[in-house]
Amino acid sequence: MTIGADVGMWQGGSMANGTMNPFKWDYSSGKTWGYMAGGALVGGLSGGFGGSIASSGGFMANTMGIAGASYMNSVGMSALTGGQTDVSISFGFASYNFDKGEWGYLGKKGNSTLENIGYGLGALSNLRDINEIINSTQATLYTDNSDFISHSAIVDKNSGDPLMSFGPNDLKTPSSKLGYATYFRKSTSDFHYKSTLPVDITVNKYAIDAVRGLGRVLPFQGITTNCVNMASLSLWLNGIPNIGLSPWILYGTTWAYTMGIRPDLFSYYFTQYGR
């Protein structure tokens, strides 16, 4: 709800001033403040509404959450601006504009970059829903908290067996961090993990198996094909957006996702206002 209110305030200010850059807004105008307050209200309510649907865990909950939030948001903003904005509904990878009677979707000719980013993020929510229907497995992302190098592993919550814990599998012994980073080594997807910094997630084993298949042909190298990249890819294929630059950043972004800080649920802002 807080994120929705913040984005809504920015959205309202943008509409009042015709530019997304808040440094160019006319803060002496009552219209700016009125639209910002109205936008915060609409954004907060619609974001909270969408978030509550998505977190309910029901059938296609994430897609329904986006649909509910986007429709409520566009109706609210249309009312706030006296019909200057269109009423639309987003379904993640696609949207429908009621005023123009027009469908928009990922990769449609004429889309702006922002629109495609929005539809792409929305598609992740669709993917997440499909994954939960086809094969849902309770898992935990563990991050080794003992040092900077760390280690990321996605583990079956019930058995404790690694689903994706990419690491080396040969006798080469790195004597320095440079050696760790640069040696090409045989790999395994079942490397040792430490049960620290747990983040509970739901994953689809088919998506994980696809990455394990990749792990069978890729070598391990500390700086490129490493534990965090493979865990990150597994999560992306499960519809969980994340940043897999280091185990620590992967932990932070995945934790944020599970706490509801989810850019995919606000993807409709990009598709509605990214033209």
Partner 1 sequence: MAGSYCNKDNNIQVVEGKTYIYEYAIKKPGQAYVGFITLDNSLIVQDICFTINFSDGKIKDVTKAERIKSNTRKYSKKENGNIYIGSLLCYTSENFTCRNKLISDDIYKMISSDFLNVSNKERLKMLDSFVK
Tokens of 93: 């990878």
Judged by CB under 8 A, does residue 224 bind partner 1? no
CB nearer to partner 1: give 113 or 176: 176
Instruction: Please classify residue 221 by burial: count the beta carbons closer than 10 Å to its beta carbon, then call 0-12 exposed, 13-18 middle and 19+ buried.
Output: middle
Look at strands 94-97 and 88-90 and give their pairing. Answer: antiparallel
* Of 70, 50, 73, the residue nearest 62 (C-alpha): 50
Which residue lies nearer to partner 1 by CB, 38 or 167?
167
User: Does the protein bind partner 1 through residue 213 (CB under 8 A)?
Assistant: no
275 binds partner 1 (CB under 8 A): no
223 interacts with partner 1 by CB under 8 A: no
CA distance 46 to 54: 12
Q: Which of 174, 219, 252, 260 binds partner 1 (CB under 8 A)?
A: 174
Q: What is the closest distance, in whole angstroms, from the C-beta atom of residue 243 to partner 1 in the complex?
A: 22
Q: Where are the alpha helices (DSSP H) in 20-144?
A: 30-56, 61-80, 113-134
For position 160 contacting partner 1 by CB under 8 A, the verdict is yes
DSSP letters spanning 36-48? HHHHHHHHHHHHH
End-to-end CA gap in the chain? 25
**Nearer Cβ to partner 1, position 116 or 225?**
225
Residue entry with tokens 């932070």: 252
Interface with partner 1, residue 191, by CB under 8 A: yes
Q: Is 21 helix (H, G, I), strand (E, B) or coil?
A: coil
According to the binding rule CB under 8 A, does residue 182 interact with partner 1? Answer: no
| Shorter beta-carbon distance to partner 1: residue 23 or 148 | 148
One residue of 162, 239, 263, 274 binding partner 1 per CB under 8 A:
162
Task: Pick the stretch among 55-63, 111-119, 165-173, 253-261 that binds partner 1 (CB under 8 A).
Answer: 165-173
d(CA 202, CA 29) in angstroms, rounded, equals 48
Nearer to partner 1, 74 or 150 (CB): 150
Interface residue list for partner 1 (CB under 8 A): 140, 142, 147, 149, 151, 155-162, 167-177, 179-180, 185-186, 188-192, 194-195, 198, 222
